[in-house]
């Protein structure tokens, strides 16, 4: 499936790599916590009858002296973990980004607990993958000499790994795609500060100057202040100031044109790598919406015919695209199954807040406008109008009315 559906998503934050810098080993308590969670996951997989299981271990297990011991314990509970190299970790994360953003061009920065992976992406291909010991659990070691020393230490580590694009024009460097839970928490923080109408940090963008201002502000903010923010866990709040300092260093050396936050990373890269070549070429937005809409009575073939029919009634203009028109048509037909009194708000929530991929904020607003117009609801909510120009919304409204 080009756009996989998440059926069950659980997480245990074990902090396996928290002591590696000081002891070179996985902490006993962290291993015990991880094993409790993994035993539960193994039991769920068994109960659900799932036999195609992929288990991957990254930096902490890879770098720890007792990593093989932990792997043996996982094998004892029926899992077969694959300890991947730093380069493999970087490439898998990059493939996740490519899966979500097929036109991605720039640098992927995947921040985990034990490491930071950097890899160049362009034209669906990857290059220059590397791993740096700059995970969130290791960043405090760079802070011991004070903030100025941390700045110098991180900058030195990035340059030593061969990543200095500061002499290039930002447009030539492309975007900086940020992958990892701490980066997503940073996006949530920025979205809340701006009163951003969308809830999903995936695809949230900032230009380089705005990203630098965000990082500068967070770097000087106490974690206790951040802990009071909605949707940011205490664990992420503790890591955000250090991660912000790291982001400043990355922005200085990688000089991107913009920053894009991606919820797709290593896990999705594993799935993407297993897809047949012809499936990889599918449009992730249309693939995801087709599955969602077909489960709600909207056949993709009918939607395609209707979308084509509307071309005469509402010819293409500047802002939309035929893929977006088809996506709007599929969702509009699916929305017909919703009770009329709750149809518009429910359908708008689909457009704005479902985790579609391959779509930006303006396009989400156009989906919402088209679906609303299809139900003869032309008074669009302010949150929709905040995301797109009047011209773009008018074009989408014409699609909806034509249906």
Q: Are residues 78 and 104 in the same domain?
A: no
Q: Is residue 130 part of a domain?
A: yes
Q: Is residue 157 part of a domain?
A: yes
CATH of the domain at 218: 3.30.420.150
Q: How far apart are CA 269 and CA 29, in angstroms?
A: 30
Q: Is residue 387 part of a domain?
A: yes
Last residue of a domain, one of 19, 51, 83: 83
Last residue of a domain, one of 43, 63, 83: 83
pLDDT digit string (tens) for the chain, length 403 residues? 888 888 888 888 898 988 888 899 999 999 999 999 999 999 999 999 999 999 999 989 999 999 999 999 999 999 999 999 999 999 999 999 999 999 999 999 999 988 999 999 999 999 989 999 999 999 999 988 888 899 999 999 999 999 999 999 999 999 999 999 999 999 999 999 999 999 999 999 999 999 999 999 999 998 888 987 888 998 899 999 999 999 999 999 999 999 999 999 999 999 999 999 999 999 999 999 999 999 998 888 899 999 888 888 787 776 668 899 999 999 999 998 888 889 899 999 999 999 999 999 999 999 999 999 998 888 999 999 999 999 999 999 999 998 8
Strand partners, 116: 111, 132
Give the position of tokens 């802070």: 143
For the chain, how many structural domains are there in total? 3
Q: Are residues 230 and 324 in the same domain?
A: no
Strands 175-179 and 105-111: parallel
pLDDT of residue 176: 99
Q: Are residues 257 and 293 in the same domain?
A: no
Q: Is residue 158 part of a domain?
A: yes
Q: Are residues 246 and 102 in the same domain?
A: yes
Q: Are residues 204 and 333 in the same domain?
A: no
Q: Are residues 95 and 1 in the same domain?
A: no
CATH of the domain at 393: 1.10.3210.10
Q: Are residues 116 and 251 in the same domain?
A: yes
pLDDT of residue 320: 65
Q: Is residue 103 part of a domain?
A: yes
What lies within 8 Å, CB to CB, of 121 at 6+ separation is 94, 97, 98, 104, 105, 106, 107, 108, 127, 177
Q: Is residue 64 part of a domain?
A: yes
Q: Are residues 289 and 246 in the same domain?
A: no
Q: How far apart are CA 345 and CA 342, in angstroms?
A: 6
CATH of the domain at 56: 3.30.420.40
Q: Are residues 151 and 30 in the same domain?
A: no
Q: Are residues 229 and 315 in the same domain?
A: no
Q: Are residues 66 and 91 in the same domain?
A: no
Residue 399: which of 327, 300, 298 has the closest Cα?
327
With residue 110 as reference, give the H or E element that holds it.
strand 105-111
Q: Is residue 287 part of a domain?
A: yes
pLDDT of residue 310: 87
Last residue of a domain, one of 65, 83, 101: 83
Q: How far apart are CA 347 and CA 357, in angstroms?
A: 17
Give the position of tokens 């890269």: 269
Q: Are residues 1 and 23 in the same domain?
A: yes
Is residue 332 a contact partner of residue 400, using CB atoms and an 8 Å limit?
yes
Its domain, for residue 292, covers 283-402
Is residue 177 a contact partner of residue 104, using CB atoms and an 8 Å limit?
yes
With residue 382 as reference, give the H or E element that holds it.
helix 382-385
pLDDT of residue 150: 94
Q: Is residue 275 part of a domain?
A: no
């Amino acid at each position: 499936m080009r756009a996989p559906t998440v059926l069950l998503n659980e997480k245990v934050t074990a902090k396996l790599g928290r002591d590696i810098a000081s002891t070179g080993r996985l902490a006993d308590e962290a291993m015990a916590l991880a094993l409790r969670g993994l035993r539960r996951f193994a039991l769920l997989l068994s109960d659900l009858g799932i036999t195609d299981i992929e288990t991957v271990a990254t930096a902490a297990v890879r770098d720890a002296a007792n990593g093989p011991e932990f792997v043996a314990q996982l094998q004892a509970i029926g899992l077969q973990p694959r300890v991947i190299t730093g380069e493999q970790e970087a490439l898998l994360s990059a493939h996740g980004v490519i899966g979500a953003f097929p036109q991605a061009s720039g640098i992927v920065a995947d921040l985990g607990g034990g490491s930071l992976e950097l890899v160049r992406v362009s034209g669906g291909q990857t290059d220059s993958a590397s791993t740096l010991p700059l995970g969130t659990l290791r960043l405090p070691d760079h802070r011991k000499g004070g903030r100025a020393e941390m700045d110098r230490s991180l900058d030195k580590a990035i340059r030593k790994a061969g990543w200095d694009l500061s002499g290039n024009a930002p447009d030539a460097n492309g975007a900086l795609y940020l992958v990892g839970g701490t980066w997503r928490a940073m996006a949530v923080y920025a979205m809340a500060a701006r009163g951003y109408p969308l809830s999903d940090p995936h695809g949230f963008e900032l230009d380089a100057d705005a990203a630098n201002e965000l990082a500068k502000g967070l770097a000087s903010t106490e974690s206790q202040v951040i802990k009071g923010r909605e949707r940011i866990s205490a664990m992420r709040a503790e890591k955000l100031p250090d991660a912000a300092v790291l982001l400043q260093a990355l922005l200085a050396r990688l000089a991107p044109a913009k920053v894009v936050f991606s919820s797709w990373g290593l896990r999705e890269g594993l799935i993407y790598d297993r897809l047949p070549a012809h499936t990889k070429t599918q449009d992730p937005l249309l693939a995801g919406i087709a599955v969602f809409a077909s489960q709600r009575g909207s056949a993709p073939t009918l939607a395609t015919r209707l979308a084509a029919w509307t071309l005469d009634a509402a010819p293409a203009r500047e802002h939309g695209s035929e893929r977006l028109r088809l996506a709007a048509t599929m969702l509009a037909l699916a929305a017909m199954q919703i009770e009329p009194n709750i149809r518009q708000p429910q359908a708008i929530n689909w457009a704005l807040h479902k985790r579609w991929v391959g779509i930006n904020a303006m396009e989400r607003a156009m989906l919402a406008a088209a679906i609303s117009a299809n139900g003869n609801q032309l008074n669009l909510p302010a949150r929709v109008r905040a995301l797109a120009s009047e011209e773009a919304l008018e074009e989408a409204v014409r699609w909806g009315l034509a249906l």
